[in-house]
Structure 1
Amino acid sequence: MTTTNLDSPRRQPLFGLEFDPLTMDDVLARAREAISAHRRLLVGVVNAAKIVHMRADDELRDSLLEPDVLLADGQSVVWASRFLGHPLPERVAGCDLFERLLAVADADHRAVYFLGARAEVLDRMLEEVRARFPGVRIAGAHDGYFPDASAGDLAHEIAESGADMLFLGITSPKKEKFLAHFGDELDVPILHGVGGSFDVLAGVTRRAPDRWQRLGFEWLYRLLQEPRRLAGRYLSTNTAFIVLTVRERLHATPPYRPAAHPAHPAGARDSGDSDG
């Protein structure tokens, strides 16, 4: 399958990556074109945590060089882009894009494969998909708890399913690594890692209200729900991102190039938090 190469605004260099300055509507238009032409559209979404962690994780960083469109999932990334003089038009949250793409599949009667989450969460999410998006054709589904050794077989199953879209409800960086390793074999036009969005659609996890999201406080809403688990992570990550942004203003990171490291199957085992 060829990759999508549509005319687009100039990509914005940020933190050594190249982001696409696209709105939600722009991305949906590209998705429809990619499906019609059966071209790959690998969607990457990046928040502050990924920008921090990719510095020490070559494989995660390489996976962020692969997407056909790279979007700002976190509001903090949008704010940083403006501070750094390479503005992005808006946040395109992975969870929001997931539901908007489901609406496209519903309207156009497209086939979708779902990979990720615990089995019981996956079942609840599929029930919600059937209720809210009856036009979606479910090409297949598999929970996220599978060993690395079976990742290749699962990729083959997805390729044989005839899916137009593949959603991976798997935590970072596992979903990026799975797509980087198997993306060319899947023969699915739309590839989108959606983190914990399966949990949200299933009603297991609550998202922040729209007002909190617009103010960039979705992370705080999640922190209030799980303070013990998330406090240390958010404190260290948010502080590191602020420091990186200041450094980027003084000395822009040169564009990253793929690192040389041995490839291996990136099996996914669990669902994770949605990117915020």
Structure 2
Amino acid sequence: MLTSDDQQAALEKPPILNLFGIDFLNLNLADAADMVVSRACKNLSTRIFFVNAHCINVAAKDKTYYKTLREAEMLFSDGVGMAIAAKFWGKKFQDNVNGTDLFPLICKQAAEHGTPIALLGAKPGHATTCAEKMVSQYPGLRIVWTHHGYYPKEKLDRLIEGINNSGAKILFIAKGVPLQENWITENKSKLSVPVILGVGALFDFYSGATPRAPLILRKIKLEWLFRFLLEPKRMFKRYITGNPAFLFRAIKLRLLNKGLNE
């Protein structure tokens, strides 16, 4: 809830931090959740993406994805890699505004405001289980529509119709990078939902299908290592080769004083 004039001003004109030629909202988690739900209640068309080191590596090779990020209404910095890169430029993010930590704060706000939510993505059953757990945790929360991410292309129009008929004001899409960002951009005009977020593996975590790193590892910025140890084959390229590539790219661009893809 908004509690001060300063907080209200931050939501109306939030501070921006430019990194890699991309404008990020520089908010803490609580203010970010306030802003998401506020825009939903006001029916303001908003695409929200979370950008981590892996996303920057993808954007460096995929100009369409890079363009999609730059055109989004709200971007948040996610992870220790982005915080380190910001330091190279003498900048600092207020918080690690990742989708996994932001989700329960949005659910809490949505429950208080009666803002309906929809979930699309992940394996069959994950979105539904995630919804059940969050509704149990936040009385009054309305998750009005869920569906997994494995559907034939010919079913897309029916899915969009279902989302629109649900009356949802916030839609979470869990398809992974860059599929979810591309999906949101391609289908935004067909959807009546004002606020749409791309949230990666979020439903897997909150359904209990994939364990999240213990709090102590998150506090010392080693959640990425926990994920790698859980799925070494799938995460090897992202973390073991991807993290050094990201840091090299960040240092190089800082020395050249350039943005990504310039």
Fold in common (TM above 0.5):
yes
Query: For the Cα contact (< 8 Å) 1:84–1:248, is it kept in 2?
Result: no
Question: Which of 14, 19, 27 is equivalent to 1:8?
Answer: 14
Cα–Cα, structure 1 residues 241 and 106, in superposed 2: closer, same or farther, change >3 Å? same
Q: Which residue of 2 aligns with 1:91?
A: 96
Q: 1:159 offset after TM fit, Å?
A: 2.4
Q: Does 1:35 pair with 2:40?
A: yes
- Residues in 2 aligned to 1:252 and 1:156: alpha-carbon distance in whole angstroms: 46
Structure with higher RCO (Cα < 8 A, 6+ apart)? 1
Pick from 14, 18, 22: which aligns with 1:17?
A: 22
Which residue is 1:151 aligned to?
156
Letter of the structure 2 residue corresponding to residue 7 of structure 1:
K
Contact preservation (8 Å) 2:88, 2:251: no
Name the structure where helix makes up a greater proportion of residues. 2
**Does the 8 A contact of 1:84 with 1:249 survive in 2?**
yes
8 Å contact from structure 2 (residues 253, 260) kept in 1: no
- Which 5+ residue runs of structure 1 have no aligned equivalent? 258-276
Distance in 2 between the 1:204 and 1:179 partners?
Answer: 24
Cα pair 2:100 2:199 within 8 Å, conserved: yes
1:55 alignment counterpart = 60
Q: In the aligned structure 2, how far is the partner of 1:58 from the partner of 1:150?
A: 29
- The alignment's TM-score, normalised by the length of structure 2, stands at 0.88
Residue in 2 that maps onto 1:82:
87
Q: Which amino acid aligns with 2:88?
A: F
The alignment status of 1:64 with 2:43, answered yes or no, reads: no
**Partners of 1:256 and 1:20 in 2: CA distance:** 21
The alignment status of 1:176 with 2:157, answered yes or no, reads no
Change (3 A) 1:13 1:26: same
Name whichever of 142-151 and 37-46 sits farther off.
142-151
Label 1:207 to 1:179 Cα distance change in 2 as closer, same or farther (>3 A).
same
Amino acid aligned to 2:229:
L
Alignment-derived partner of residue 260 in structure 1: none
Q: Distance in 2 between matches of 1:120 and 1:36?
A: 28
2:207 paired with 1:199? no
Shift of 1:104: 1.3
Among 9, 22, 44, the alignment partner of 2:49 is 44
When normalised by structure 1's length, the TM-score is 0.84
Q: Deviations over 1:48-90 (max 9, x none)?
A: 0010111111222122123222111112101211221232211
Match of 2:114 among 105, 109, 114: 109
Task: Using the TM superposition, give the Cα deviation of residue 145 of structure 1 relative to its aligned residue in structure 2, in angstroms.
Answer: 0.6
**Identity of aligned pairs, percent?**
30
Classify 1:202/1:85 alpha carbon distance in 2 versus 1 (closer, same or farther; 3 Å): same
Specify the code of the residue in structure 1 equivalent to 2:148. D
Contact 1:168 1:194 in 2 (8 A): yes
**Contact 1:81–1:88 (CA<8 Å) still a contact in 2?**
yes
Residue type at the aligned position of 1:207:
R
User: Is 1:134 matched with 2:139?
Assistant: yes
Q: Which of 224, 229, 252 is matched with 2:234 structurally?
A: 229
Task: Report the Cα offset of residue 255 of structure 1.
Answer: 7.1
Count of equivalent residues: 252
Amino acid at match of 2:74: V
Q: Go from structure 1 to structure 2 and tell me whether the alpha carbon gap of 1:231 and 1:197 turns closer, same or farther (over 3 Å shift).
A: same
**1:253 pairs with 2:258:** yes
Any conservation in 2 of the 1:82–1:88 contact (CA below 8 Å)? no
RMSD: 2.0
Point out where structure 2 has 5 or more consecutive residues left out of the alignment: 1-10
- The C-alpha deviation readout for 1:161-205, integer Å capped at 9, x for no partner, is 210110112211111111111223322232111111101111111
Instruction: Give distance in 2, aligned partners of 1:256 and 1:24.
Output: 29
Do 2:37 and 2:106's aligned partners in 1 also have CA atoms closer than 8 Å? no
Q: Report the secondary structure of 2:84's partner residue.
A: helix
Q: Alignment partner of 2:125: what SS?
A: helix
Describe the shift of the 1:93–1:254 C-alpha distance in structure 2 as closer, same or farther (beyond 3 A): closer
Deviation at residue 36 of structure 1 after TM alignment = 2.7
* DSSP 3-state at the match of 2:60: coil
Change (3 A) 1:232 1:31: closer
